[in-house]
Structure formats: structure tokens, C-alpha cells
Amino acid sequence: MIAGAKPADDGEGVIVKLLDIGGQARAVGVWPAAYPFKLARRTTLVEQNGDPITVGSDGRASVDVAAWGIAGVRLFTPAEAS
């Protein structure tokens, strides 16, 4: 489930927060329809960058979310990824 999506506080990309409400760890696909993105990174809940996330040629990224967990992702548009 998407818990929130907003522009990043520092102006670099968009932050998406994901929440598992089913009690089962899973990989969650992320692909915004509003704009394409070329780069993605895990983030902490206070928007500090973490490990890069692979973005497929189809523009989708997959993020592991722990059971009952929250995951943060920063998505960069092509202009921001340059």
C-alpha cells in the first residue's frame, strides 16, 4: 500500500512511502504513471538516501518491504538523474 507520495523536502525527486498491512514481507513494484523516472534510491523515513534501486527498461523498480514494515523510495526524473 502507498502510505504517501510527495516532492522531496530537498527538491530532488519524489518520495514514495510504502507500507505492508498484510503482515507478509514482499517485493513491491513502483512505476508512477505521471512521469517517467530513470533513477531510484531507498530512503529513510526522514529522506536520507540509501542504496540504489535498479530501474528496469520498462521504467519499473522493485522494493522489498518487510512484514508490517515501511519503506521509503526516492524517484528521480530523467532531468534530475543527469
For the chain, give every domain's residue range.
2-72
- AA identity, residue 49: N
Query: What are the tens digits of pLDDT across the range 2-59?
Result: 888 899 999 999 999 999 999 999 999 988 777 788 899 999 999 999 999 999 888 8
DSSP symbols for 18-78: EE--SS--EEEEE--SSS--SEEEEE-TT--EEEEE-B-TTS-EEEEE-TT-EEEEEEE-H
Predicted pLDDT of residue 3: 85
| pLDDT range class, residue 82, cuts 50, 70, 90 | low
Q: Any idea how long the chain is? A: 82
79 has pLDDT over 90: no
Q: Which residue is associated with the grid cell 519524489?
A: 14
pTM, 2 dp: 0.85
62 has pLDDT over 80: yes
Cα 79 to Cα 25: distance, rounded to the nearest angstrom: 33
Query: Cα dihedral angle (8, 14, 19, 20), rounded to 10 degrees?
Result: -150
